[in-house]
Structure 1
Amino acid sequence: MKRSTSHRALLYGRSAALGCVVLLLLVAGVLSSWSSAQHIVLAKGREHGAMAVTGCGADVCTGPFTPAEHATARPRVTIERSVAVKKGDRFPVVVKPGTDEVVRTGVPGFLHSWVPLGGALLLAALIIGGGLRLTRTAWGTGIAGAVLLVATFIAL
């Protein structure tokens, strides 16, 4: 049975729409991750040091910043609260320019900053496999997202 032109146009339109949704998910994941990852990836010239967590609120944890090399000591800096930050912890950080906010550095900090991309990869894999019917690509995308999330869990 031959497919009509309108049926083919509908299939192409569906594929284009789903491709746009996948692209939107991945771009949103990268942009969300980049907001904190940029301070780790492009850390040259920023203030490096260590933070000792002395207290945690609902959204942020605070503590003193001990500088390394050319940074300035600060009595109170803040870091976004996560399951990996507890009172009494001490870890390496980099200060966001012009603020008293810090971002965790090293492998755990790097992986943690890319968690939104890992989630976006998992969601995109469902659309790639189910909607676009590209199963190998979907498996690769899903495995990449899962590996990123599991590596972050192990590192933290």
Structure 2
Amino acid sequence: MSWPRIAAMPAVSSTQSAYAVLRFGRIAAMGTVAVLILIAGVWGSWGTAQHVMLTKGRERGTMTVARCSGDRCTGPYVPATEGSKARARVVIEQPVAVRRGEVLTVVVKPGSDQVVRTGPAGVLYAWVPLGGALLLASVVVAGGLRMARTAWALAGSGLVLLTAAFAALQ
């Protein structure tokens, strides 16, 4: 009886296995960095976005910009929903493209006198940190993971988000 002949496996040199380990380490490290950047972008955006996007049960109304100084503007608040109360002074942090006398639709952050912009402009502005994170992650994906198409998709998404926010606030 003759035994079937088995082709010998090619020998793997230590150089090839070291290269494979280093390649896996690079992919794991850069993938982790890219994911952490995106998580940080969502985390940074969610603090404001939750108030803008999930408005059910929140106080909504309008704010007339009376005074701006530094990174905040103040003005009176007029309610638009039941259960909301008028306030003589509310604060909007980090105003962008806000002028004195302008009337903004806003939602009040629970338990405070701070408000955030609502509507399309407010939603897009709330997600600006994610847009920046998408741009930064695209560089990591392109250089560290060598995934050019994915990097272009991330960069394009970030650029579209930032451009739309800029256009909506003008």
How high is the TM-score relative to the length of structure 1? 0.96
Describe how 1:4-23 pairs up with structure 2 within 5 A. Answer: 4-23=16-35
Corresponding pairs, count = 156
Are 1:133 and 2:133 counterparts?
A: no
User: Per the alignment, in what secondary structure is the counterpart of residue 76 of structure 1?
Assistant: strand
Are 1:110 and 2:120 counterparts?
A: no
CA contact (8 A) 1:67 1:73 kept: yes
Are 1:25 and 2:7 counterparts?
A: no
Which residue of 2 is the match for residue 146 of structure 1? 159
Are 1:66 and 2:78 counterparts?
A: yes
Which residue of 1 is the match for residue 69 of structure 2? 57
Closer/same/farther in 2, CA of residues 24 and 143 from structure 1, 3 Å limit: same
> Partners in 2 of 1:9 and 1:17 — Cα distance?
12
Deviations 1:34-86 (A, max 9, x none): 00000011110000000011011212110000100311000000001233222
> Partners in 2 of 1:88 and 1:14 — Cα distance?
54
Q: Which amino acid aligns with 1:94?
A: V
Q: Find runs of 4+ consecutive structure 1 residues off by over 3 angstroms.
A: none
How high is the TM-score relative to the length of structure 2? 0.88
**Structure 2: gaps spanning 5 or more residues:** 1-11
Report deviation, 1:141: 0.6
Larger Rg: 2
Are 1:81 and 2:114 counterparts?
A: no
Which residue of 2 is the match for residue 46 of structure 1? 58
CA contact (8 A) 1:40 1:94 kept: yes
Report deviation, 1:15: 1.0
> Partners in 1 of 2:149 and 2:88 — Cα distance?
52
> Partners in 1 of 2:166 and 2:23 — Cα distance?
40
Are 1:98 and 2:111 counterparts?
A: yes
Q: Which amino acid aligns with 2:168?
A: A
**Structure 1: gaps spanning 5 or more residues:** none
Which residue of 1 is the match for residue 4 of structure 2? none
